[in-house]
Structure formats: structure tokens, C-alpha cells
Amino acid sequence: MSELAKVDDYMTTTLIIFSPDENIHTAAKILLDKRISGAPVVDEAGRLVGVLSKKDCLQVVYNASYHKDWGGRVDEYMSRDVRTIDTGTDIIAVADLFVESSYRRFPVMNNGEMIGQISRQDILRALYDSA
């Protein structure tokens, strides 16, 4: 392979995005219905403020089944410590990050603005294409 593929070549740019004040029940249902493992959470100014994953939603389901408390907002359950990838990062560097972490996706940023998301599946496809 002459030049390494970049994250930009394989990232998804059409995303399901949640707002921090969105109903957690609605958000969890969207994750299930769309069969996605998580989605970015963006505030009114368009800034990435977190990620909501199915793992985060487990707490919601637990509360509903055990405590009979089904409700709340996305920002009460989302992960706030979000690892991001810069646009232009090569696929091998991102593959290393996936191997070293438990994350299933990383938001892709360009000058502080989220422009897409890269997943394990995207990286696997990129590596397969380059083999």
C-alpha cells in the first residue's frame, strides 16, 4: 500500500445525534431500533459534550426493572469523558487505539467540530481493503 488510508476515507458522516436534555427512554429506544451501539451527544451550540452508548443505557433499564424508575435525561447517563480522533489520522493509528481500548467508536473532529464518527467496523473494513 503506497499511502495509508485516513480516517476521513472510512468514517461515517450521517449520524444519529442526541441532545443532552433528550429523554433517555427515547434515546435508548433509538439505539435499539437503529441497531447502533452508541451516538454522540451535542449541545445547542453544536459542541460534542458526550456519548451515549447501550452500555450507558443498561443503568436506565436496571433502574426501570429494579427500582421502577424509568426516566431522566441523556446527560444523566451519557459518558462525558470522550476520546476523539482528529481528521486526517491514519487508519493504523486508529486501529491501535481500538486495540488498546474498550471503545467501539470515536467521534472524528476537525478544528474542534465533530464531522463524523469512526467505528471498529469501519477500521476493520479499511484494514481489509488495504490487505
Sketch out the chain's domains with CATH numbers: 7-130 (3.10.580.10)
- Predicted confidence at residue 26, as pLDDT, reads 93
Q: What is the pLDDT of residues 108-121, one digit of tens each?
A: 999 989 999 999 99
Alpha-carbon span 86 to 84, nearest angstrom: 7
Taking CB atoms within 8 Å and a gap of at least 24, the contacts of 114-118 are 114/40, 114/42, 114/46, 114/48, 114/84, 115/11, 115/13, 115/87, 116/8, 116/11, 116/12, 116/13, 116/15, 117/11, 117/12, 117/15, 117/40, 118/7, 118/10, 118/11, 118/12, 118/85, 118/94
What count of other Cβ atoms lies within 10 Å of the Cβ of residue 25?
A: 15
**Full-model pTM:** 0.85
pLDDT digit string (tens) for 26-35? 999 999 999 9
